[in-house]
Structure 1
Amino acid sequence: MLKISFHPSYIHPLPARHRFPMEKYELLPQQLLYEGTCEAENFFEPEVLNDKYYLAVHDPEYFYDFINLKLSQKEIRRTGFPLSRSLVHRELLIAGGTLQAAKYALEYGVGMNIAGGTHHAYTNRGEGFCMLNDQAIAAKYLLNKGLAKQILIIDLDVHQGNGTAEIFREDASVFTFSMHGAKNYPFKKEESNLDIGLPNETEDEVYLEKLKTTLPNLIELVKPDFVFYLSGVDVLATDKLGKLSLSIAGCKERDRFVLQLLKDAQLPTQISMGGGYSKEIKYIVEAHANTYRLVQNIFF
């Protein structure tokens, strides 16, 4: 059974200029239920984790300054969100949801989080709307519990997974792969184990060819026993922060290829949604909904 992390706190109350991207966290579950892709039993509410699981990734000084609302104004500006108690609770829950979804993936083959993909969070700081790195926290949990030995993180958000790259820079048990816009944020990139930077306006054919010639060989090379997939839809041509030019169909084919490859390889997979900032919310919801539709068709 597909299990999906969702909590009302994902729809975080923010100032007006931040509300638009957050609407997808409310609309996406509604759409999946309305069309019958998911039932209520597919969703679970995440819980806040024991501090030790966050601290396996994040520096204590940063983590406790964050949860106790003690970050400096400079640190707060870097995240892009005003710091508040509700934001802290939201971030703790998102990481908890991804960790629980990873455990469900071990049981059912795949587990998902309506939110997550907070790949700009470093060990000691947040940036780019990311405060705690959900997939890094879950990956460390699996490794420390002996539930996985070699992890592959596939990051196909349009922005490089700089925080994830920094976190696992010295950890050979996690291979980080990021395919992103070369001239997009973050403008100072970190070094993933494999980075593919794409030029502005890259369209479906070039994007998909690059992915399809890279990922099968990468899986063969890394030989992971668990995969985290960040399926950001800010690769769309309609995305106001993206700079790439994929169509809805191209983004769906991206997900179909990745998911079928992982299913055929029998690799348990956790999926977080990542970015999506198209000017019209319908494009964001449709592109994200395609990921869930494909998971149901391929895995179940």
Structure 2
Amino acid sequence: MLAFHYDNHVLPLPPGHRFPQSKYRMLREHFLHTPGPLRLTVAPAATEGELLLAHTPDYVDAVLHGHLSSAAQREIGFPWSEAMVERSLRSVGATVAAARAALAEGVATSLAGGTHHAYADKGSGFCVFNDVAVAARQMQAEAAGTQGRLLRVLVIDLDVHQGNGTASIFRDDDTVFTCSLHGEKNFPFRKEPSDLDVGLPDGCGDADYLAALDAALDDIRRRLVTYPPGLAFYLAGADPHEGDRLGRLKLTHAGLAARDERVLRMLRDWGVPVALSMAGGYGHDLRTTVQAQVQTVELAAQSWAAWGAAACGQRMKESAA
């Protein structure tokens, strides 16, 4: 399975900053030493043209050329720097590349991404550009341009924080269905309406979470039965874990595994390719966050292998016929 990374682009952050950027390096290094079926690949940088598919020209120009106001930088949570720009471009590029690979192979992943708080005209909550929104629009443009077809997209956002930026960008776009399962009382405190929102109470554990997820997945299948998606984005945040300092939910590692298995199985059974992003994770001990993300990537790789086996079986049937 292709896995795109860019953790060599380090943000120059002040001491004590709460953004846990070392987790990306830790995740990549785990698979560097234990690669299994992963093909680790350096992410390309997104182009300005790609960014403009989901963001306003003024905002893109302000980020790329250092015109962000102090207030805008505070809302993002990062001081502007050339390194911040490069890392943000790679974040989007990783998800674009993962989406393209998923369409070809069934499953692919970005070892970061999931920057779902970025709006069309501003960043927020450690999110500069909205990687999933850009990638969705780029894949739709490629499908229309090369195949003359409409590509419908599904976004399943299971980060503990609601995907407000993504919901806002796609609010009036009936070709993209957005679903967010999140902590109701957690950031962002002003939610944007997704196509399907499931707010969960503080302290929600495995059983209640999985029951809510099962109901949401059933609802998605029912509502999209007439026009099923041709591509899904799965934001597999590690921050619902009980050891997360910002999450406020109580999922165990087993609960997160069951979550990932349910989403991946539904999409595989439905025949919908999926690009994963790791999204949030802020463990008191970052090793617990990385453990959860390793588990997610390993389950995604298993799903990718199942896609390959199914495709091989289909080719054999066609050859025999």
Q: TM-score range by the shorter chain?
A: over 0.9
Q: For structure 2, list consecutive stretches of 5 or more residues without a partner in the other structure.
A: 145-149, 306-321
Do residues 124 (structure 1) and 129 (structure 2) align? no
Q: CA shift at 1:34, angstroms?
A: 2.6
- Taking the aligned partners of 1:43 and 1:14, their CA distance within structure 2 comes to 26
1:257 to 243, 253, 262: 262
1:228 aligns with 2:233: yes
The counterpart of 1:298, out of the listed 280, 295, 303, is: 303
Question: Is 1:158 the counterpart of 2:160 in the alignment?
Answer: yes
Within 2, Cα distance between the matches of 1:95 and 1:145? 16
- Determine the C-alpha separation between the residues in 2 that align with 1:8 and 1:130: 15
Structure 1 runs (4+) deviating above 4 angstroms are none
2:16 aligned counterpart, secondary structure:
helix
SS at structure 1 position matched to 2:8: helix
SS in 2 for 1:96: helix
Equivalent residue in structure 2 for 1:83, among 69, 80, 84: 80
Deviations 1:21-74 (A, max 9, x none): 1111111111123334345xx011122233111001100001101111111000
Q: Distance between the aligned counterparts of 1:216 and 1:104, measured in 2?
A: 27
Count of residues paired in the alignment:
297
In structure 2, the partner of 1:289 is 294
- Maintained 8 Å contact 2:118/2:124: yes
TM-score for the superposition, normalised by structure 2:
0.89
User: Who is 2:40 aligned against?
Assistant: 43
Task: Tell me the equivalent position of 2:216.
Answer: 214
Aligned to 2:247: 242
Amino acid at match of 1:18: H
SS in 2 for 1:196: strand
1:299 CA displacement: 2.1
Q: Judge conservation of contact 2:47–2:89 (CA < 8 Å) in 1.
A: no
> Could you tell me how far apart the structure 2 residues matched to 1:243 and 1:142 are?
34
Any conservation in 2 of the 1:10–1:115 contact (CA below 8 Å)?
no
| Equivalent pair of 1:216/1:261 in contact (CA under 8 Å) | no
Aligned equivalents of 2:173 and 2:50: distance in 1? 17
SS of 1:175 mapped into structure 2: strand
Q: Residue type of the partner of 2:252? A: S
Could you report, residue by residue, the CA deviation over 1:236-285 in whole angstroms, capped at 9, with x for unpaired residues? Answer: 11111011111111011101111111111111101011000011011001
Report % sequence identity: 40
The alpha-carbon distance between structure 1 residues 226 and 8, as it changes in their structure 2 partners (threshold 3 A), is same
- Greater Rg by CA: 2
Contact 2:108 2:304 in 1 (8 A): no
The farther-off stretch of 268-277 and 9-18 is 9-18
Unaligned runs of 5+ residues in structure 1 are none
Counterpart check, 1:64 vs 2:61: yes
Contact persistence 1:11–1:26 (CA under 8 A): no
Do the aligned residues in 1 keep the contact of 2:107 with 2:301 (CA within 8 Å)?
no
User: Cα deviations across residues 202-252 of structure 1 (Å, max 9, x unaligned)?
Assistant: 000000011012203313422211100000010011111011111111011
The answer to whether the 8 Å contact 1:227/1:268 transfers is yes
**Matched residues in 1 for 2:304 and 2:31: separation?**
16
What residue in structure 1 maps to residue 15 of structure 2? 16
State how far apart, in whole Å, the 2-side matches of 1:83 and 1:293 are: 34
Which SS does the other structure have where 1:105 is aligned? Answer: helix
Match of 1:187 among 186, 189, 196: 189
Structure 2 residue aligned with 1:106, among 103, 112, 119? Answer: 103
CA contact (8 A) 1:230 1:271 kept: yes
Contact 1:153 1:174 in 2 (8 A): yes
Q: Match of 1:242, SS?
A: coil
Please give the alpha-carbon distance, in whole angstroms, between the structure 2 residues aligned to 1:10 and 1:191. 33
Distance 1:10 1:250 in 2: 32
